[in-house]
Amino acid sequence: MTRRPFALTLVTALALSACGLFAPEEVVPGVFTLESPVFANEAAIPSEFTCDGEGKSPPFTIRDVPFGTQSLALVMDDLDAPSGHFVHWVMWDLRPDLTEIPVGSAPTGAMQGTTSMKSVGYVPPCPPHGSDPHRYAFSLYAINGGISLSFEATRAMLEQQMKGKVIAIAKLTGTYERNGEE
């Protein structure tokens, strides 16, 4: 397990403060982490969790949720999408005592939102054949307030609700590349 240095946590906090997601005094430095037993940070996501496999969401392990967290939210983005930004998964109202997200499902009580595909739930990685590997960022937000959104809300709506409530963010990035022609 790699621990983020305090300086990185502080820089992240200051950057998020600038965009209005939370104030620096709310930052709780620590080792809040999001990990997966099926891929390491910056490593390849196994094809079974992509459009070339079963397309189920990968499992995750959550550690060291900061004190004061009332709920968690998870967002998955393709950082290398041709359109510049592609949302693969939006989920909120995850319990703060949650330690695992199982394969292929949202935890009990979690709400899922609308992706860039205009669908609800997990959209598996599916970059164009022959393109460079795409990076997929899973961002887990520790939130110190309630989120009042209806089913199918968008990432933008979630971000609006999280303004001023984010205590910390844990990130995990995986890659995926589809070789050859379709």
List pLDDT tens digits, range 94-141: 999 999 999 999 999 999 999 999 999 999 999 988 889 999 999 999
The answer to whether the beta carbons of residues 70 and 148 sit under 8 Å apart is: no
End-to-end CA distance of the chain: 37
95, part of any domain: no
CB 61 within 8 A of CB 100: yes
Pairing assessment for the beta strands 86-94 and 43-44 based on DSSP bridges: unpaired
Question: Containing domain of residue 57, as a range?
Answer: 6-87+107-176
Residues 6 or more apart in contact with residue 52 via CB below 8 angstroms: 126, 178
| pLDDT for residue 20 is more than 80 | no
97 assigned to some structural domain = no
Residue 168 lies in a domain: yes
- Does the residue 29 lie in any domain? yes
Indicate the SS3 state at residue 77. strand
Mean pLDDT score of the chain: 85
Range with the poorest average pLDDT among 5-14, 31-40, 172-181: 5-14
Q: What is the reported pTM?
A: 0.82
Determine, yes or no, domain membership for 169: yes
Say which CATH number the domain at 10 has.
3.90.280.10
pLDDT of residue 11: 35
What is the number of structural domains in the chain? 1
Does the residue 64 lie in any domain? yes
Is position 30 within any domain?
yes
